Amino acid sequence: MQVSTIVLYGAATAFALTSDAAYFDYKRRNDPNFRRSLKKEKKLHAKAQKAQANAQNENQREAIHDAVRQAQMEGFPTDVEEKEAYFMGAVARGETLCAEGPEAAIEAALCFYRALKVYPQPQDLISIYDKTVPKHVLDILAEMLAVDHTVIAEDDDEPSHIE
């Protein structure tokens, strides 16, 4: 290919892109129907993104609820030495999972939750977690603790009286 052919193709491409941009700008400024359709598309796109974010949040809540319920079904050790070994293993695994990235955040938070359940002074451990655990994992852990109370309330045999 000759240089003049390459320059010609480049100029034609640049002209086509510039003319498309100019036409789009003209339509946007002067055609009220076109402006309305652009606004409508923008609103639909925002609505779809919001629905997708809500679905992801709901899926995460369900995963957290299932993880807490599974951990409670597995149970926690009762012997002092077993508790200590369980605690150390859970914290070590949680720290390892935190280093892997955000995709392992729920599993890491579950490890910290398990360690918290066997620790003698959970309030002290929470203050340590505040300083050492990444915020996104700490937020999931807080949700797990909130779910823990609702799971206990659901498992009671007493009927609830809602009037």
Convert the pLDDT of each residue in 114-159 to its tens digit.
999 998 888 888 899 999 899 999 999 999 988 887 544 444 444 4
Structure tokens at 48: 């779809």
pLDDT score recorded for residue 9: 93
Structure tokens at 159: 């009927």
Q: How many CB atoms lie within 10 A of CB 12?
A: 10
How far apart, in whole angstroms, are the C-alpha atoms of residue 104 and residue 98? 7
How far apart, in whole angstroms, are the C-alpha atoms of residue 16 and residue 10? 10
How far apart, in whole angstroms, are the C-alpha atoms of residue 27 and residue 44? 20
The overall pTM is greater than 0.95 = no
